[in-house]
Structure 1
């Protein structure tokens, strides 16, 4: 009964993975009918080149900032949305709405906001006598720009998942803590947050995998990768940019795959120990 599904997974997931591993051992220009086997030459070139440090550094900064920012802000928003106040249903919909929007559309709108010449933010800053930062031209600010947009787009997902965890929490435990004299902050830190550990663990894995594979917003807001060259975007630039180096791009993709596999394995091995399922 499972054989058709297994066949589809094997054909559309594992077959391309194995093919990409093979391509990563080739010196192959995209569109060319000729390729030279170079073994681990593409991997050695990547890790010994000057670009490896900047690519891995940008990937680490972007991932840590977006995962941490989305989860922390999402938790705070979930706590606020968990209150019984008028309009909470509308507020929940508004918070979650950016997550389901197209990344291309979100990137284009925010690019108009951050544009240092014609953007809305520059217009506001000029109105108070300040110059607009060069968000697009400065590599450090460009990375900060895409981090802000990515956190804004994905915090609704974390907020809704955390909200579900808060609403499924046993109320008798919270009431017992309140009767013992614990204030709201202490109840949250010592009771609610530990009970949210399964939710936090789930969000940590899914958000980490999503951030490491973020592409659309980065591509729209910084088409040339000015300071925002993460692993997946660098693989795209090498294959479909000015270089057309399909083999080298495949090697970078395999590096990303190994990073994803390692991070997921470490979380399952060590982080899950801190999770309380009951």
Structure 2
């Protein structure tokens, strides 16, 4: 290498060194240490004691471990599709050119920027079975409201409904995808006699399928790591009906100080998310269309 090339390389490394140091200390090192701790009995105080695959064997025999997986899969199976459907439907409505549409878009987007803790406390009040606004409205029309967060049968559906509160974030992305569709395609379909639902099925959905694919991946990753709302509102109850995987991982790490067990859970979660993501990527060739492909 010439002296100028070496100097440019040195200067470049100096400029990126703060990020490299931060990445090595706060990301790469914890990543590698968690892999080591997953094979040890570690409580964050005493020295790690090597147990091999003992943590994984213990987890596979833990009833709460499997229940947390079932709760997480339940939430993912309903929350992610509902979020996509509601986001696309809302984007279609907000893509209509009428007066004051900017105001409507802002109103629907605002909930997505409300802090999670604040919105969780708000929904905790709304879901109150005796004094909450939702059951009060149901009682006003002669319907008996459910127990919501205090009923094991309704606790997860309540959190799913709460998740739709922030659908405005994905709605903005869908709206951007809708506005990128050439209007000539709709005009040609109109000339050919296509009705509105033909346009949605054969033009709109295929053209925004890359956006749907992106939100699907992000929604799956986020739902498998669902934690904050369940921790604030229910702490896993009632009867462990909202004990999601990340919440159980947190309890093992910071309530029971089973750091080795929590590290093993983190790696299982990593592999599970990786497997689901790869599966969705493999299936995307059948329903995601790019650059006019059909």
Structure 2 length-normalised TM = 0.87
Cα deviation, residue 265, structure 1: 2.1
* Aligned residue number for residue 100 of structure 1: 113
Structure 2 unaligned segments of length 5 or more: list them.
1-11
* Aligned residue number for residue 90 of structure 1: 103
Q: Does 1:149 align with 2:162?
A: yes
Q: Does 1:66 align with 2:79?
A: yes
Q: Secondary structure at the match of 2:121?
A: helix
* Aligned residue number for residue 262 of structure 2: 249
Match of 1:204 among 216, 233, 244: 216
Match of 1:229 among 237, 240, 243: 243
* Aligned residue number for residue 14 of structure 1: 28
Q: Does 1:27 align with 2:41?
A: yes
Cα deviation, residue 132, structure 1: 3.6
Which deviates more, 83-92 or 163-172? Answer: 83-92
Cα deviation, residue 178, structure 1: 0.9
Residues 33 and 260 from structure 1, CA distance in 2 versus in 1: closer, same or farther, beyond 3 angstroms? same
Which deviates more, 20-29 or 71-80? Answer: 20-29
Q: Secondary structure at the match of 2:28?
A: helix
Which deviates more, 10-19 or 174-183? Answer: 10-19
Q: Does 1:174 align with 2:182?
A: no
CA distance in structure 1 between the aligned counterparts of 2:213 and 2:200, rounded to whole angstroms:
17
Computing the radius of gyration from Cα coordinates, the structure with the larger value is 2
Number of aligned residues = 275
CA distance in structure 1 between the aligned counterparts of 2:114 and 2:50, rounded to whole angstroms:
42
Structure 1 unaligned segments of length 5 or more: list them.
none
Match of 1:115 among 128, 136, 142: 128
Aligned alpha-carbon RMSD (Å):
1.9
Residues 22 and 78 from structure 1, CA distance in 2 versus in 1: closer, same or farther, beyond 3 angstroms? same
Structure 1 length-normalised TM = 0.91
Q: Is contact 1:116-1:133 (8 Å) kept?
A: yes
1:34-75 residue CA offsets vs partner (Å, 9 max, x unmatched): 432211111111112222331111111111211111110000
CA distance in structure 2 between the aligned counterparts of 1:130 and 1:189, rounded to whole angstroms:
36
Cα deviation, residue 127, structure 1: 4.4
CA distance in structure 2 between the aligned counterparts of 1:114 and 1:157, rounded to whole angstroms:
23
Cα deviation, residue 239, structure 1: 1.7
